[in-house]
Structure 1
């Protein structure tokens, strides 16, 4: 019998998860590990332009990988010829490449793995292994979703997330800077985690989100930045009618812009420092890693905030 009465837990509204029919796991990289173990691929082609954490399951399982290049449209420069036991992994960059993902699915078929960690709202394509992560879009400590039709016959333990909440609660209570070290510790703590089911806490947090409102705000913010900044943006990434972006990727060959933004408390990440080690200055990925400023457009912000970003730039 469940407990009745006593002290209260955190009050959260109850809604419906966007990916309610997916497999719920603890991290995106473990979704990828699940796919690799279930499909038993010998080798996977992965983009140079991606986060180094993607390599974790390959190294853990001893599976070969080979890098490929993307062009200025963030599309594959030279498509590899896949053998029977090989796969191609593609990142749906910034949540803006769904039409290209659909074309890849038609061309590659079931040997395609779609990394939708930057595209939480992109719909999975039937028969195509696809995974999502929660932390890049919402204030949760962990969690990921996986779509696949190849299942592992294992019972994974349920994760626990209550000790990973410090950065989330500190940012509300005492400010963004106060919780940054906790955020960094949280990110490091997720390295090397075994595959587990999504924690009850994270699932409950994901059930409290107004997904429609979030999508509308992200799109509105993106379009506002696009209207002002697109003329100077090297990247040409139109916002498709069903796309919900993670950030506005602003690429300009201007040194010091990132530092100026951060100095003015507009916190932009760097995607991804490891790319500078994997590539050379002649590669598009090197330029992307140096010059793309992922401007925040998420649901916490409004028209006034976007005006502030534009004015500073």
Structure 2
């Protein structure tokens, strides 16, 4: 009788990192290593020769275009963050629209009915489910404490076996945020961002996958919604952006657009760290453009699961002293 030889599973040794088991939120989507690589995946599958991108976007989206020699044309957005489409979309071309701050789902629904070859960038809208037959990608680290990871919704796949990425060398900023503080980890965070540049398309790492499986997504979503609604109640009268939150929407931040610049720096000086979306836009557009104004004046107030209404109250009180 033959004895079947199976690969030996290690038994014993030191106790490994213990992560809570759970479910993946986007379990039916393709897990990849980065959002920009998810876009590259789409471009490879669809074989587009031209892409229309908004001026108001992150320059990392250009990376796959350089790799694949895909031409790019930029378009503007209006003061409601909707695309200004005053051109014909060429054949073999695609049109990318960003779900800004997770608040533009209605616009995406309209575009899906009228725009051929639409690609939805849901990097700022993790909880938004993809529309059927609309290529859509997500970025995990914009919403959760992982160093990488993305999801892709696409009907076709590449006929290649993707290697699995490794994340262990990109965790120092996350560990420092716990053992030290978030400021001590910022330099490592910047280095991690650099490490994600020009990487091959790979499967999401096991480490990021397991962390994402242990998240209480319902609780995270509810906290974001409550924090957003509180800020909107207290700041809407000052906000030049007239955006509302649909009942099911889970925003990334509260986008506060003010008529004056310089408030971001004053908030950062008081340890309210607000990101700029996106510094590269300054070099792409004219100074009198709406995109230039957005980049300088929009304050992305954090609303994520780390914070509660007391924290929102602190931000509102500080803003009231500055405005």
TM-score > 0.5 by shorter chain = yes
| 2:8 aligned with 1:24 | no
For the residue of structure 2 that corresponds to 1:71, the secondary structure is coil
What SS is found at the alignment partner of 1:8? coil
Q: Report whether the alignment pairs 1:278 with 2:275.
A: no
Quote the residue 1:82 is aligned against: 89
CA distance in 1 between partners of 2:251 and 2:300 (Å) = 11
* TM value normalised by structure 1: 0.98
How has the CA–CA distance of structure 1 residues 80 and 171 changed in structure 2, closer, same or farther, with 3 Å as cutoff?
same
Match of 1:198 in 2: 204
The equivalent residue for 1:131 is 137
Give the counterpart of 2:44 among 34, 37, 57: 37
1:242 paired with 2:237, answer no
Whole-angstrom distance in 2 between the partners of 1:254 and 1:69: 22
Deviation at 1:8, TM superposition (A): 1.7
Structure 2 gaps, min length 5: 1-7
1:185 aligns with 2:202: no
- Residue 12 in structure 1 maps to residue 19 in structure 2: yes
Partners in 1 of 2:205 and 2:19 — Cα distance?
A: 16
Equivalent residue for 2:181?
A: 175
What CA distance in whole angstroms lies between the structure 2 residues aligned with 1:305 and 1:125? 34
Counterpart mapping for 1:17-166 below 5 A: 17-109=24-116, 111-166=117-172
Instruction: Decide which structure has the larger Cα Rg and report it.
Output: 2
Aligned residues: 312
Find the residue that maps to 1:90 and give its secondary structure: strand
Indicate the residue corresponding to 2:228 in structure 1.
222
Calculate the TM-score normalised by the size of structure 2: 0.95
Q: Deviations over 1:191-244 (max 9, x none)?
A: 011111000000001101000000000000000100100000000110101100
Give 2:3's aligned residue: none
Compute the RMSD of aligned alpha carbons. Answer: 0.9
1:299 and 2:295 matched: no
